[in-house]
Amino acid sequence: MFLQAALVALVACSAVGARHGDASPAAAAAAAASPPNIVFILTDDQDVTLGGLEPMKQLKTLIREQGVFFDNAFVHTPICCPSRSSYLTGNYIHNHGAVNNTIYGNCASYNWQKHAELNTYATHLKKAGYTTGYVGKYLNQYGFKQSGGPEHIPPGWDHWFGLVGNSKYYDYNVSNNGVSEHHGTEYATDYFTDLIKNNSVQFLKKTIAHSPSSPFLLVSATPAPHGPFTPAPQYSHVYDGKRAPRTPNWNYHSEDKHWLVRTTSTMDDRHINGSDKTFEHRWETLLSVDDLVGEIMSTLEEANVLDNTYVIFASDHGFQLGQFCIPGDKRQPYEHDIRIPLMFRGPGIPKNVTLHQIALNVDIAPTMVALSGQEAPQEMDGRSLKPLLVSGGQEEATIAGQPPVAEWRDDFLIDYHGEGNPPCGLSACPGPPLSDFHITDASNNTYTCLRTLSTTANTIYCEFTLTNYVEYYDLSEDPWQLKNAAKTANAALIAKQKARLQQLRECSGPSCHQ
C-alpha cells in the first residue's frame, strides 16, 4: 500500500498547516455558523504534464498557493463525456454507463437521465439545503433533441446555464434555465468563457444577497482549452511563436504500441506547425479562464464568504501535442492524457502544500458530499479526499467506516471505449499521411489499464480488448513510455497485474476504494 508516502504527506500537510494556520478565526467562525460553500471550476482538455498550468498566474496565487495541490491526480478515462460523468457521479464507467461522447454511448441519453443523473453531487447537496448553480459545458450530447432538448434541466440544479453540445467559444446555444438562448460572434456578448465568468458572478452575488447564511454550490465549466482553440481578441497573440514541448516521446514513432499508434508515421512540417499553433492558442484561451478564476475569487472575498468556501480546480482529462506522432488529441493511456491539475483551497486546508497520494476524478463527488458535512454514499466508487485535506477529516472517515489514510489506494482503473467502423476501423477513414489517423478514433482503441503508484512501484499495465494486445511500462525507468516492456517483464508480475485489473473492472463502491 501507499503507506509511507501517505503518512509523510499527511505529516507535511499538518506541519505546513501549523506554520501558516489551518484557518483564520474568521474562517473558523464562519464554518461554525453555516455549512461551507463549494465552488468547482472545471476546464476542458487542460494538461498538467506539458505545461498546461503555466499561463494561469491568478490560479497559482489565489488557489494553488492558498491550498493543496495533488501532483498525482488522474482521470479514470481520457475523454470528455465519460470523465465528466465520473466527476458527477463518483463512479467508474462500468457503473455509470457513459462509455463515449455519443448518445448511443449513453452520453446525456434518456437512460443516463433515468439512472446516473439522479445521483450526482448536485442531487446530494441539494437535499442538504444547498442552493446550486451550473454554468458552462455539461455533457457533450446535452441539449440536443435526442437527449431531451434544452428544456431538460438535470436534477439538483436551482440555476442552470448549460451549453448545448460540445465546447465552443462563439456561435452556440445554451439552456438558460430551460430556455434555449443563442449566442453569436460578438466578443463583448458572446465569448463563452467570459459569459461563464459573468453568469457565475451573477449567481454568486444573487445567491449570497438573497440568503447570506445558506450554503451554495457553483460549478463553472469552461470550454478552454478545448478546440476550436479560439482565444479572446486581447489574448490572441500573447504566445505567438510558442512551441509544443519537445518531450522525449515527441514525434516518436514506435512499433511496439497498439494499432492506432503503431500505424502512424512521424509528423511532417504541416503537422508540426499545426501542433505548435494549437499549443499557442490553447495557452491563450487559458488566459480568459485565469480571468474567470480571479473574478470568482474577488467576488467571494468582497461578499465575505471566501473563508467559508471550498474552491476546487480541475480538468476533465489531459492532452498531447506531438507525443507519439499524435498532432493533438487525448484518448490514450499515456501520462499526458490521464494526468490532470487538481487543487483545493478552503477552511481547514493548509496553504501551499503538495500532496502525493493518488487523487481521481471519481473522488470529487464523494469529496464534495463529505465537505458539505454529509457521509459520502456507499455506491460511489471514488473516495472522499477530505481526510487528506483538512484536520479532523480522518476521524470523520473512520466513523463512516472508511479505510484510514495510511491505507490510501496505490492503484486505480483506467477505462476507454474507442469508436470506429470498418473498413479502416476508424470513425472516419482518412487518407495519407498516416498521422491524420489521430484526429479520429478507432474501435480497437478500447482498453483497460491498471495504473500503480506506490513507494515500490510506478507502472501501468494495459489490455487492448479487441486486439488482445498488451502494453506495460515501468515509469521509474521509462517515464515517457518509449519502450513497451510487456514481453520482457517478469511473467509473475504481469499475471499479478492482470488479476488486479480484473478485480477493478468488476468493483463497485467500497471494493473500489483500495
Q: Which residues form the catalytic set?
A: 80
Going by C-beta distance under 8 Å and a sequence separation of 6 or more, which residues neighbour residue 111?
97
Residue 77: burial class (beta carbons within 10 Å; 0-12, 13-18, 19+): buried
Q: Which three cell numbers stand for residue 457?
A: 512501484
The torsion defined by the Cα of 70, 302, 177 and 213, in degrees rounded to 10, comes to 90
Q: Which three cell numbers stand for residue 120?
A: 450526482
Which residue from 155, 147, 151 is spatially nearest to 104, judged by alpha carbons? 147
Where residue 165 falls (left for φ over 0; alpha for ψ -120 to 50; beta otherwise) is left
Q: 313 forms bridges with which residues in the sheet?
A: 41, 343
Say how far apart CA 292 and CA 294 lie, in whole Å.
5
Q: 354 forms bridges with which residues in the sheet?
A: 69
Measured CA to CA in angstroms, residue 315 lies from 50, 75, 170, 342, 421 at distances of: 14, 9, 21, 7, 29
The helix (run of H) or strand (run of E) holding residue 274 is: helix 269-302
Q: Are 405 and 6 in contact (CB under 8 A)?
A: yes
Say how far apart CA 101 and CA 79 lie, in whole Å.
8
* 3-class secondary structure, 393: helix
Going by C-beta distance under 8 Å and a sequence separation of 6 or more, which residues neighbour residue 268?
433, 435
The strand pair at 359-360 and 131-136 is best described as unpaired
Q: Please calculate the CA angle 82-84-86 and round it to the nearest 5 degrees.
A: 70
Q: Taking the chain, what is the end-to-end CA distance rounded to the nearest angstrom?
A: 9
Residue 222: burial class (beta carbons within 10 Å; 0-12, 13-18, 19+): buried
Measured CA to CA in angstroms, residue 225 lies from 1, 35, 220, 280, 319 at distances of: 35, 33, 14, 10, 10
Secondary structure letter of residue 349 according to DSSP? P
